[in-house]
Amino acid sequence: MTALKSVSEKSYFFAALAILLVLAIWRATINDAITGDVAMYLQCGELLLRGQTIYVDFFDLNPPLVFFISVIPAALARLMSLPLLLAGSVTCSAFAIVSLCVTAYILRCSIRGSAGADGLIGSASAGGPIDAACAGALLLAMATLSAFTTYDFGQREHILVLAWLPYLLLRWARLNGVVFNRPLIALVSFLAGLMICFKPYFLLCPLFLELVLWSRRGQAPYLFVAELAALSAGGAAYAAALLLMPSLARQYLFNYLAPLLSAGYSAFDQHAALVMFSSVWYPTLTLVAISLIFFAIASMGKTNQFPKPLKTLAWAAFFQIICGLILVQVQHKGWCYHGIPMMAAALILLAISFAQLTARMQAVSRLVLALLVTCAGVLASSLWLAGVHTRLHAEWEVLVPQLVPRGSRVAYLDTTDTPWFVRMAAADLWPGSRYLWMFPVPIYQSLLQSGKVDQAHVDKEMTNLMQCLGEDLEKGQAPLVVVRTTGCFALPNDFDLKAYLERYGLLAALRHYDLVHSSEHYRFFKRLPD
């Protein structure tokens, strides 16, 4: 990938690249510092490589794209004989570096100014107040993003923004006359369109972008252009993949899972007042507030006005923050990784505002200041992650690997996947049941309480679930079953999951197992010798 044009621009680019490389190496040493979601996706990617079928051989409530994508790190783990979590860390870090390089090329073309002598961001020779330092600040923002994700490194929202930000800059530059080669347009746009399909909510990102570009230009942007066609092609490719799924998987997804989630996914919701007002959201909200303050100050300058194209980009970033806020509220779960798109947009807006406010500084001073701010943010988030990582210890973390050998299957009966799959993937232990976790229990309890289903329907579904568990344990002969008792996620704190499942046949499913250990919230059952 060609680096940015001038010495100053190269300095920013290589500094951002160095940050990502250092983060990649450090991440490789603590590759289990991720959420249970990501670890589960990685294990499911390996299950797909083993010939299993999603929604047939293993069940989860997420749309299938993330499992398809997870085949890539799983394949890398096989090819390079790497631990699965390490392969996941390497793959995501590599994608972040590729995203940075593509963004650097897009900005290089914009600075060069294919549309005219002044370029889009402006240049000192043309007398513009915003020079290549703005491009450099944007690249540093891209590098900072992967550090700020902390435990959510590799989440779908993280992968989305790594694909979306290059597309956003490409779309903005193209509308202002910058010329790119068609393969680059097709690749960047197709990948962004594909990653948008992670969740239906992500369609808001291109919608908000087009509305902003429309309003700032004073006319409708051209819709029949290569990047929008390729963006749509990414969605079409995913739709085709859904249609090509095995019929049983397709029926489960569309006839059972989609209606179930539409009616009962709110079982995992947080109270409205808690969605973004807990302490875990303070870093993201602080970053957003700082970016908005800097943007307001930069916009009030009378001597250093934003060039019109750059101001359009700033407003696009501003409304991507609004879009990210809507994404958090629509999903209504209060999980921090839902805020990654909002955080990414805030970093972009902050980078643009920083470049505007430091326009009168010397180039070296701007570079040093930008690096100091970036390194301080990266270091702070990294130290926080390292500190939290050393304090995370589940009560079963040491016990389970002692009870069964590596490569074994363990059935896990709990209403959350965190941090179970992280520890199990690190210990090379695999799901012992087609139900990766007991997500149907809180959903049906919520539907029952809201009157959307009756008790007979819940009894039927739970009985079927326990029958499936019994079949899985007989067929796979998982040597260990771990059952949660109280303190379950998305259920009342005194709700006893083990006692609840016993009403529907858990004891029959465990007839070949013996209780070997009890802890505060878990019961451990080991398979009896044949």
pLDDT digits (tens, 9 = 90+) for 181-212: 999 999 999 999 999 999 999 999 999 999 99
Domain locations in the chain as residue ranges: 7-257+276-359, 399-527
Out of 91-95, 249-253, 358-362, 429-433, which region has the weakest mean confidence (pLDDT)?
Answer: 358-362
- HSE-CB at 179 with a 13 A cutoff on CA atoms is 3
pLDDT digits (tens, 9 = 90+) for 386-434: 877 665 556 677 788 889 999 999 999 999 877 789 989 999 999 999 9
DSSP state of 199: S
- Better-predicted residue by pLDDT, 517 or 273: 517
Question: Mean pLDDT throughout 82-94?
Answer: 97
Question: Mean pLDDT throughout 88-100?
Answer: 97
- The tokens for 484 are 């949660």
Which phi and psi angles does 30 have, rounded to 5°? -130, 50
In the three-class reduction of DSSP (H, G, I as helix; E, B as strand; rest coil), residue 93 is classed as: helix
pTM of the model: 0.92
pLDDT digits (tens, 9 = 90+) for 215-266: 876 655 566 689 999 999 999 999 999 999 999 999 999 999 999 999 989 8
Classify residue 83 by burial, with Cβ atoms within 10 Å: 0-12, 13-18, 19+: middle
Angle between helices 308-331 and 204-217 (to 10 degrees): 150
